[in-house]
Every structure is written in structure tokens, then in C-alpha cells.
Amino acid sequence: MVVSVAPPAGTPALSRPRALKAADALDNLLDRARQAVTPNGDVVTLLDRRVGAHPGGAMASLLVNAQSGEAALQAVTALVEHALRTVAPLRHWQLTEAHVELPSTPD
């Protein structure tokens, strides 16, 4: 699954140190969380992640274990949105992308 976050619209391109600080904050949150919960209580386990920074914000590619793609999307979106309200370097940022990529199976 992929999530991207960015500062509020109209913010100039981020300096490299600021973008790295945001990516580090997102990485630390995901490392500490290890799990996310859907609104109806389904647990999604965060198995692995790659977090990066760019001039427009930060993004994470996550490997999760979930009952469904929808559960993964709901739980991780809720976790990231919570971070955007409470984690200082990400406060007031916005979630700009969240989607699930299901693994392909050989025919």
C-alpha cells in the first residue's frame, strides 16, 4: 500500500532538511505503531515499509497483513490522518494519496 503526505496547498517546495524531517517523522510513527485498526476494530499489521522524502512531501510504501485491501486502506489512512493532527513535523499536512496494490498471482 502507498501513502503520500504533503504540506498545505500553496506551501513552497520543501527544503531537503524539512522534507527529510517529515519523512523521518512518518517513518518513526510507522515503526512505533506496528499495527493499525479499522473503525470497526479489524487489526492490520504493518510488516515492512519504505519511507522517502521529496520536495513536495513524503511517501511510504507499506507491506501489510490485513483481512482485505479495504481494511488496510481504512486502518492505515486513520493512522496517518491521526499523525497529521498530532505529530509536530506533520501537523496540518494533508494525506494526498492512499491506495492499495494487491500482489499479483501467477496464472
Residue 105 pLDDT > 90: no
Domain residue limits, the chain: 2-99
pLDDT at 103: 73
Q: Which residues contact 30 (CB under 8 A, 6 or more apart)?
A: 46, 49, 51, 60, 62, 79
Helix axes 16-33, 69-86, angle to 10 degrees: 120
Q: What is the mean pLDDT of residues 10-38?
A: 92
pLDDT at 96: 95
Residue 13 pLDDT > 90: no
Q: What is the pTM of this model?
A: 0.86
69: exposed, middle or buried (C-beta count within 10 Å: 0-12, 13-18, 19+)? middle
Residue 20 pLDDT > 90: yes
Give kind and range of the element (H or E) at residue 50.
strand 43-54
Quote the CA–CA distance of 95 and 47 in Å, as a whole number: 21
10-35: buried (b, 16+ CB within 10 Å) or exposed (e) per residue? eeeebeeebbebbbebbbebbeebee
Task: Name the pLDDT band for 107 (thresholds 50, 70, 90).
Answer: low
Q: Mean pLDDT over all residues of the chain?
A: 92
Q: What does the pLDDT look like over 31-65, one tens digit per residue?
A: 999 899 998 899 999 999 999 999 999 999 999 99
